[in-house]
């Protein structure tokens, strides 16, 4: 998007999606393309694919959606047996073309490309160290910092060099790394971001942020890359190396369940769809509201609304129809259409809410700037009452591990009480799921990062650091 009127929402923005493929005698560029297509929900700002054939590496990347960037002739020029790909939403570094991934460079050990999902909390420190050593940097992305560190790392093999760098990287990272004759997949010691691997049906292996992408490629025997692991995908079969000791307990992002992941993803051995239904069931136990109909905000809240309805016996129905393409247009709206705001993204089925007490289920409220207009849409359509129920606790702290939730000033729950938020969005009632209720739905007491709710971060972070903290040095 070249404007923010549609991108601003009451939900956290997606992270990034990564794919890695080793498939001899296959069109790996097209395989990476379809993998990224499956992961498009994780980032819509930019995408790229890098391919190697054992000798030469080539790459294509640009800003925009996967289908806009890659055409048949583009993919025809990407030949090889090894590929990595990335679809991006900016976390560290703004949405500039120079920050599109993968990053590819020539090194003394041969070509190298890297794609990253996550955020290093010590990236500014590492970047300054590289600059002091005379390394030229062209972007504001911590991914470039990781790539340049790998290029300079000590070790006889790439596996050793990756392991060496993992000792210095602090924060969230799931990586796919491409050399001329290998793909590596690596995950941080806390396990913040998802990464899975699978066996391709005709030989070879693939790694991806979500196992739905792996199933799209026909993968079998899918398992997660464990925290601190490096997995090598090459002709020498799958090789697993525990590079750094995993942190216990882990710190998986609980928002994969709440919002980010596709419902067909399995995260920490659990179906995302089923956990979302349980979030709705737990929310129903904590909500004391009489109503006539339960409606979800599409799409991530649909399973939760089903669970809520099942637990309360309040009928479930569709209230909103979402225009899934309006947020992906590059065409500027007219001034009069811009004033329509959220009405361009959602239409209400009037008959389903007319003269009814509505419970509207959503996954989260971040800035609080679209919930009010959505409630207004329901009231205009004839809803008698509008009650809002949210499937997670109030988000009152920013994320430093790869999710864009803004800073403290952006978060409505950081500077407003529950009733102040209710008044601001003009709801008849507002219920957030408790932290205990959320974790009961997840089925785990620990092992998950809850920092955006509690302010207790698994890693010490500099809360003054901004998302575009490198920009002043790279513009």
404-409 long-range contacts, Cβ below 8 Å, gap at least 24?
404/12, 404/13, 404/89, 404/90, 404/91, 404/467, 405/12, 405/13, 405/366, 405/452, 406/366, 406/367, 407/466, 408/463
For residue 332, what pLDDT is reported? 63
The Cα angle at residue 100 between residues 98 and 103, in degrees rounded to 5 = 90
Q: Are 342 and 8 in contact (CB under 8 A)?
A: no
List 230's β-bridge partners, or say none.
186, 241
For residue 371, what pLDDT is reported? 94
Distance CA 183, CA 140 (A): 25
Look at the block and give the residue holding tokens 């969230």: 172
Q: What is the pLDDT of residues 363-407, one digit of tens each?
A: 999 999 889 999 999 999 999 999 999 999 999 999 999 887 778
List 13's β-bridge partners, or say none.
404
**Model confidence, pTM:** 0.90
DSSP 3-state assignment of 86? Answer: strand
**CA proximity to 186, closest of 260, 115, 106:** 115
For residue 3, what pLDDT is reported? 38
Q: Are 84 and 19 in contact (CB under 8 A)?
A: yes
For residue 11, what pLDDT is reported? 61
Q: Which domains does the chain have, with CATH numbers?
A: 16-251 (3.60.20.10), 270-454 (3.40.50.2020)
Residue 276 has a CB neighbour count (10 Å cut-off) of 26
DSSP 3-state assignment of 171? Answer: strand
72-76 long-range contacts, Cβ below 8 Å, gap at least 24?
75/27, 75/29, 75/30, 75/33, 75/49
User: Residues near 43 by Cβ (< 8 Å), separated by ≥ 6?
Assistant: 14, 15, 16, 17, 87, 88, 89
Distance CA 286, CA 307 (A): 13
**CA proximity to 467, closest of 396, 399, 397:** 399
Q: What is the pLDDT of residues 275-304, one digit of tens each?
A: 999 999 999 999 999 999 999 999 889 999
Residue 141: CA count within 13 A, CB half-sphere: 27
Distance CA 57, CA 181 (A): 9
For residue 466, what pLDDT is reported? 41
Catalytic entry in 16, 219, 399, 449: 16
Rg (CA), the chain: 22
Phi/psi-derived region of residue 355, left when phi > 0, alpha when psi is between -120 and 50, beta in every other case: left
253 is catalytic: no
For residue 335, what pLDDT is reported? 74
For residue 211, what pLDDT is reported? 94
Distance CA 468, CA 129 (A): 18
Q: Are 361 and 297 in contact (CB under 8 A)?
A: yes
Phi/psi-derived region of residue 302, left when phi > 0, alpha when psi is between -120 and 50, beta in every other case: alpha
Indicate the burial class of 456 (C-beta count within 10 angstroms; 0-12, 13-18, 19 or more).
exposed
The pair of three-digit structure tokens given for residue 241, joined into one six-digit string:
């190396």
Regions of the chain with pLDDT less than 50: 1-8, 91-93, 95, 466-475
User: Residues near 25 by Cβ (< 8 Å), separated by ≥ 6?
Assistant: 81, 202, 203
Distance CA 16, CA 24 (A): 27
């Amino acid at each position: 998007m070249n404007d923010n009127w549609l991108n601003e929402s009451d939900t956290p923005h997606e992270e990034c999606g990564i794919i890695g493929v080793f498939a001899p005698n296959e069109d790996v560029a097209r395989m990476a393309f379809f993998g990224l297509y499956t992961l498009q929900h994780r980032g819509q700002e930019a995408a790229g694919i890098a391919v190697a054939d054992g000798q030469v590496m080539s790459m294509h990347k640009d800003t925009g959606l996967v289908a806009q960037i890659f055409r048949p002739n583009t993919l025809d020029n990407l030949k090889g047996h090894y590929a990595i790909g990335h679809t991006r939403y900016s976390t560290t570094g703004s949405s500039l073309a120079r920050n599109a991934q993968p990053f590819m460079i020539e090194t003394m050990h041969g070509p190298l490309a890297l794609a990253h999902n996550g955020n290093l909390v010590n990236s500014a420190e590492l970047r300054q160290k590289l600059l002091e050593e005379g390394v030229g940097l062209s972007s504001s992305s911590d991914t470039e910092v990781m790539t340049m560190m790998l290029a300079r790392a000590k070790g006889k093999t790439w596996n050793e060099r990756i392991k060496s760098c993992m000792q210095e990287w602090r924060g969230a990272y799931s990586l796919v790394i491409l050399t001329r004759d290998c793909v590596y997949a690596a995950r941080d010691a806390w396990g913040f971001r998802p990464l899975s691997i699978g066996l391709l049906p005709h030989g070879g292996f693939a790694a991806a942020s979500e196992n739905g992408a792996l199933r799209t490629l026909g993968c079998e025997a899918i398992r997660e890359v464990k925290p601190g692991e490096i997995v090598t995908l090459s002709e020498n079969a799958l090789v697993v190396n525990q590079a750094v000791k995993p942190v216990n307990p882990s710190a998986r992002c609980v928002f994969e369940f709440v919002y980010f992941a596709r419902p067909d993803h399995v995260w920490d051995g659990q179906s995302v769809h089923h956990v979302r239904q349980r979030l709705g069931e737990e929310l129903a136990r904590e909500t004391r509201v009489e109503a006539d109909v339960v409606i979800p905000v599409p799409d991530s809240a649909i399973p939760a609304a089903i669970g809520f309805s099942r637990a309360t016996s309040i009928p479930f129905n569709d209230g909103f129809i979402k225009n899934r393409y309006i947020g992906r247009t590059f065409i500027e709206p007219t001034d009069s259409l811009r004033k329509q705001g959220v009405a361009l993204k959602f239409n209400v089925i009037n008959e389903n809410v007319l003269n009814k007490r509505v419970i509207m289920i959503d996954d989260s409220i971040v800035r609080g700037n679209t919930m009010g207009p959505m409630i207004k849409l329901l009231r205009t359509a004839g809803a008698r009452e509008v009650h809002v129920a949210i499937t997670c606790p109030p988000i009152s702290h920013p994320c430093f591990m790869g999710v864009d939730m803004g800073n403290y000033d952006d978060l409505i729950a950081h500077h407003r009480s529950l009733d102040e938020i209710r008044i601001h969005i003009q709801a008849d009632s507002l219920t957030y799921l408790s932290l205990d209720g959320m974790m009961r739905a997840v089925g785990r007491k620990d092992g998950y990062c809850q920092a955006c709710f509690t302010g207790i971060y698994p890693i010490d972070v500099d809360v003054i650091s901004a998302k575009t903290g490198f920009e002043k040095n790279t513009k």
